Structure 1
Amino acid sequence: MDFTFNAYAIFLIACGCTTILLSYYIFRRGGDTVKWFSMMMLSNAIWSIAYGFELASATLYQMKFFINIEYVGIATLPLNWFIFSLNFCGKECWYKKPINLTSILIFPILTILMVWTNSFHHLHYKHLTITEEGPFPMLAIDTGPWYLIFTIYFYLLLAAGCYLILIKFKSSDPIYRRQNYSIIIAAFIPWVANVSYLLGFRPFGHIDVTPFAFIMTTFLTLIGIYRFKLFDIIPIAREKVLELMQDGFFILDQKNRIIDYNKSTKQYINLGEKVNLIGASIEDVLPDQPELFERIKARNPGKVELTLLKDGNKLNLEAETLFLNDSKINSDFSIIKLQDLTNVKKEANRVRDQARELEKLNQLKDRIFSIIAHDLRGPLVNLSEVLKMIANDQITIDEFKDISPTLSKDIIYTTDLLENILHWSRSQLKGFGIKKEFFDLRNLIINEINYHLPAASLKEIKIIHDVFPGEMVYADILMIQIVIRNILNNAIKFCNRNSEILITAVYQKEGKMLVCIQDNGVGIAKKIIDKLFTDENISTRGTLNEKGTGLGLVVCKDFINRNDGDITVTSVEGAGAKFCITLPTSKKIGA
């Protein structure tokens, strides 16, 4: 090849080689945005070097050869500029869609093919000739229709990139705007140069000054990179970080209208028909929050707890109000930060409920140990002492017969107490399951009546039941047996001689069976009724001085609740008491 180098060619080739080295250095050290800028530099370098060799060529064949190389850079430069602008503005997701990427790739590929095959169709260049009008031989170009199409594509991508950068510049913080000046100025230099060339304003003859302009653009942007930290992580990533934050942010103007927000706020509010919240009043977006609005009105920074309904779900939020520094930005602007405390609240409530339940269990445990230490131990000690006296012939048979009724009562009391303690303790064990099943209520009641007949006969008490055969309930049969046994035992204990106990079972609406055990005994004082099902130790002796544990009704309440039922008591002192329990007659959905 024959070359006659001139000042223009040498300058372009030297700048192009320098640009290649810089693009490689930047590509190795930069992030995604900087790498796309380095690709743009590479395209510019290919254009500059090839155009420099074209200006140094003396033959038409050699000039055409370098034009083919030039268009590898010319066709890809606007594409790389546009993708760089998308990354710079945080909108890189656009070109990652296949249809969008295809639409912008097809023109560079077709243009390169058009240029390489121009001699067959002349759609890009109609004619290429050498002119001697300048200081050295140059190409005179007569453009074709595809040249016009590519020029439109070229300007569209340049314009789109410049528009994105201008939007970025307008929305950036004042402290970052200085960094963007260099790239905005640099972006318009190739426009001026290329438009001047196309309109015929050519101070250097047929020399295309566009690659020179792009070299200036590259170096101005490099100044921005290293002088103003143009691609520093803070201005690039700040908006992305804000959008990725789980906490919501509202920025309000002096009239409490929303002027900016991040997408996390939408998970806390009911949008309704509002897709964009810009311009909406904060009182419409967060209604019924007087404490928050009062704080904003008084410009009082701090935290407020909010309760909102979102799609039927209750949300617990913490709103923190912040007001911008007077010395830097208009003080009428304010920020509301929303933090979701729903799970924290639920966890706190769960821990509090567990602590309360644990405290109750500890209190009941202390009661049980107290009962074991006193009430359970006393009868056993008495029985042990009587047996020792019999073994040592310290009492006669007649004396033993006199005290045997008392011993019998103590043993019955001790057995009942031990049974209640064992049943309740078993129910509190971790992993203890409630074995619900359908069973005949009448059969269970008859079995319990038969169990208590000896004790009732001693006091000449009649036990009557009015329960129809086949009355089925759905519950844990063992638990309900314990409940009926305790209530019936209490009724016998507090009845006088020749009293009567009536047991009834009536089906109610909503799948419930009402079972009532009513006696005409001594009744219960009102002050005691209010404490019967609590953890307080309520123990009263019966009409024949029978002892009570105070534990039985607590167990009854617990067991009935576990079986989705309820237990109530009504009484008139001196006229008897009536205990009623409700039991389900069918399975619950999901049970």
Structure 2
Amino acid sequence: MDFTFNGFSIVLLTCGAATFVVSTYIFRKGGDAVRWFSLMMFANAIWSIAYGFELASSTLSQIKLFINIEYIGIATLPLFWFLFALSFCGKESWYKKPLNLILILLFPLATILMVWTNAYHHLHYSTIIVDSSGPFPLASIKAGIWYHFFTIYFYLLLACGCFLILRKFRSSDPIYRKQNYSIVISAIVPWLANMVYLLGLRPFGHVDVTPFAFIITTFLILIGIYRFKLFDIIPIAREKVLELMQDGFLVLDQQNRIIDYNKSILDYINLPEGKKLIGTDLQDVFLHQPDFFNRINKHKAGKIELILPVKDEDKYLEADILFLNDNKLSNDFSIIKLQDQTNLKKDAIKTKEQANELEKLNQLKDRIFSIISHDLRGPLVNLSEVLKMIAKDQITSEEFKSLSPTLSKDIIYTTDLLENILHWSRSQLKGFGIKKELFNLRNLIINEINYHLPSATTKKIKIIHDVFPGEMVYADVLMIQIVMRNVLNNAIKFCNVNSEIHITAAYQKNQTMLICIQDNGVGIAEDVIDKIFKEENVTTRGTLNEKGTGLGLIVCKDFMKRNDGDITVTSKVGEGAKFCITLPTTK
């Protein structure tokens, strides 16, 4: 082949080669949007390089050869632009449909075929001749009917791509505008040059200025890479973001400013009304998280737990920090993925609480078994031995009478102990229901006083009640009966001879009834008060050596809690004790 290179051809060959290098570099960055853009530049490179050789040719046959090569780039360039616009705007699903893809491929393939076979039908170019009137030979062409069809196709795809890009940029955040404008301007410049050429405005005669416009395109893209960090967000971080759409995510720049996010992130943070998230420093969003920022500042990827107050409740979040540094030309940026772990955390806390509760129940169960094996067994064994001795005439009637008070106390103790164990055990059974109802408090208290009258009379203790008729409370009758029985039993046990027990009841402002049982007995030491309602074994003998189990007040505390009530005690050693019970008066 014979070439006579001139200024135009040298510039085109040089810039075409540069465009080819840039397109190859960009293609390696990965991602659909980037690769379509790089293929569009590759098509430009083919056009520019082939046109450079065309301008250096002097024979018609050689010019036609390079025109045929040029059209590989010319025919595919608008297609790659349109596919880039679709991918950039997140509409890849359109061209991934087989029918749509076939339709958009038909026209560029048909155009290439028309150009290559033009000598047989002259539908694309009516005539092609060599014009030697200028400083160097140029191809002078006359367009055919298919050339006009291709021109319509060319600008239709151009318009559709530009429309998609501009619509996306209209709703984009300000931080992307420099990047976005560099893409639009670099793509539109060659189209404008080609439009000027087709309209007949040709300052250099038959020289097509469109390939020269790609010099500007290449320059703008290089500026975009170095100055505006073109493709830092498109598509590397953006495609990573799409993978995290189910969770909240943030994209940060080197200064930890938010440059992108998804809508889900708004569920994880408290964003003041009217405040924009883009451009905000991360520390203004995640307050009081030193460990989180320490990890980010040390460039340490991984997961960390955050606790954030969101919408009047604490949210437990798992932050997954990912750092990306694609190449030396682009700055580092980071992606933070936030996943809501609130329900899992609450379940874990609940499971831990249940485990602690189960451990306490097991400890209480062990104590009950200890009581049954020792305290319950002892009195029964004593009674059994005395009955055997009577049956064998080993003791006289007088001796039995002397033992009977002790045996009677043991039986009363055993009965109370069994009653507490049975009622408490029954309440712990799964499925046990509390039968709450409105009942007369005065009647229940009088019944319990009558129940304890024999033991009170033995110690000459007066039980005085000040409860008005018709006082009603809402609770489980049987449970409150057990509570009153245990409290009265304790009061009698720790009273001296000739003491008094006062029972009062009064309405409270919060629709509750306060029932107080006060005695003037020996009182309770402070260290014992801290233990008697807890699940610790605290037993103390009464003023007449009455035995206790340490289980009664634990049962009382449990029953009051189940009935939405409470039980408290105040006491001073030597001055007696005062137990107060709070019960609801309404449903």
Task: Encode CA deviations 1:314-359: one digit per residue, 9 max, x unaligned.
Answer: 1123445555569847777555443433223212211211111111
Q: CA deviation at 1:533?
A: 0.7
Q: Structure 1 residue 160 and structure 2 residue 163: aligned? A: yes
**TM-score, normalised on structure 1?**
0.66
Indicate the SS of the match to 2:454: helix
Aligned-partner Cα distance in 1 for 2:554–2:356:
17
Task: Encode CA deviations 1:230-279: one digit per residue, 9 max, x unaligned.
Answer: xxxx979934633424253341333x322233443222111223464121
* Equivalent in the alignment of 2:490: 490
Q: Is the 8 A contact 1:55 1:138 kept in 2?
A: no
* Equivalent in the alignment of 1:384: 384
The one-letter code of the counterpart of 2:367 is R
Against the structure 1 CA distance between its residues 354 and 193, is the aligned structure 2 distance closer, same or farther, given a 3 Å change threshold? same
Matches within 5 A, 1:287-366: 287-297=287-297, 304-319=304-319, 328=328, 333-366=333-366
The one-letter code of the counterpart of 1:252 is D
Aligned-partner Cα distance in 2 for 1:389–1:31:
99
Against the structure 1 CA distance between its residues 160 and 477, is the aligned structure 2 distance closer, same or farther, given a 3 Å change threshold? same
Against the structure 1 CA distance between its residues 235 and 328, is the aligned structure 2 distance closer, same or farther, given a 3 Å change threshold? closer
Aligned-partner Cα distance in 2 for 1:391–1:276:
96
* Equivalent in the alignment of 2:103: 39
Q: Is the 8 A contact 2:437 2:474 kept in 1?
A: yes
Aligned-partner Cα distance in 2 for 1:241–1:371:
65
Q: CA deviation at 1:563?
A: 1.4
Q: CA deviation at 1:299?
A: 5.4
* Equivalent in the alignment of 1:411: 411
Aligned-partner Cα distance in 1 for 2:282–2:406:
78
* Equivalent in the alignment of 2:198: 197
Q: CA deviation at 1:362?
A: 0.8
Against the structure 1 CA distance between its residues 193 and 508, is the aligned structure 2 distance closer, same or farther, given a 3 Å change threshold? same
Indicate the SS of the match to 1:475: strand
Aligned-partner Cα distance in 2 for 1:141–1:301:
56
Q: CA deviation at 1:504?
A: 0.2
Aligned-partner Cα distance in 1 for 2:245–2:321:
20
Indicate the SS of the match to 1:530: helix
* Equivalent in the alignment of 1:75: none
Task: Encode CA deviations 1:105-139: one digit per residue, 9 max, x unaligned.
Answer: xxxxxxxxxxxxxxxxxxxxxxxxxxxxx999966
Against the structure 1 CA distance between its residues 43 and 161, is the aligned structure 2 distance closer, same or farther, given a 3 Å change threshold? farther
Aligned-partner Cα distance in 2 for 1:324–1:155:
33
Structure 1, unaligned runs of 5 or more: 1-6, 20-29, 67-133, 173-180, 211-233
Question: Which moved further from structure 2: 500-509 or 262-271?
Answer: 262-271
Task: Encode CA deviations 1:9-32: one digit per residue, 9 max, x unaligned.
Answer: xx99x99xx99xxxxxxxxxx975
Q: CA deviation at 1:46?
A: 6.5
Indicate the SS of the match to 1:371: helix
* Equivalent in the alignment of 1:249: 250
Indicate the SS of the match to 1:288: coil
Against the structure 1 CA distance between its residues 561 and 135, is the aligned structure 2 distance closer, same or farther, given a 3 Å change threshold? closer
Aligned-partner Cα distance in 1 for 2:189–2:101:
16
The one-letter code of the counterpart of 2:102 is S
Against the structure 1 CA distance between its residues 513 and 237, is the aligned structure 2 distance closer, same or farther, given a 3 Å change threshold? same
Q: Is the 8 A contact 2:248 2:268 kept in 1?
A: no
Structure 2, unaligned runs of 5 or more: 1-63, 77-91, 125-139, 177-182, 211-234
Q: CA deviation at 1:567?
A: 1.0
Q: Is the 8 A contact 1:523 1:574 kept in 2?
A: yes
Q: CA deviation at 1:518?
A: 0.8
Paired residues, number: 465
Against the structure 1 CA distance between its residues 199 and 312, is the aligned structure 2 distance closer, same or farther, given a 3 Å change threshold? farther
Q: CA deviation at 1:33?
A: 3.4
Aligned-partner Cα distance in 1 for 2:154–2:147:
14
Against the structure 1 CA distance between its residues 236 and 504, is the aligned structure 2 distance closer, same or farther, given a 3 Å change threshold? closer
The one-letter code of the counterpart of 1:159 is C
Matches within 5 A, 1:3-402: 33-35=95-97, 36-44=100-108, 156-160=159-163, 196-199=197-200, 238-239=239-240, 241-254=242-255, 256-274=256-274, 276-297=276-297, 304-319=304-319, 328=328, 333-402=333-402
Against the structure 1 CA distance between its residues 356 and 418, is the aligned structure 2 distance closer, same or farther, given a 3 Å change threshold? same
Q: Is the 8 A contact 1:55 1:137 kept in 2?
A: no
* Equivalent in the alignment of 1:427: 427
Q: Is the 8 A contact 2:511 2:585 kept in 1?
A: yes
Aligned-partner Cα distance in 2 for 1:351–1:142:
75
Against the structure 1 CA distance between its residues 34 and 283, is the aligned structure 2 distance closer, same or farther, given a 3 Å change threshold? same
**TM-score, normalised on structure 2?**
0.66
Aligned-partner Cα distance in 2 for 1:165–1:196:
30
* Equivalent in the alignment of 2:454: 454
Task: Encode CA deviations 1:182-238: one digit per residue, 9 max, x unaligned.
Answer: xx999988876666334477x9x9xxxx9xxxxxxxxxxxxxxxxxxxxxxx97993
Percent of aligned pairs sharing the same letter: 58
Aligned-partner Cα distance in 2 for 1:293–1:141:
61
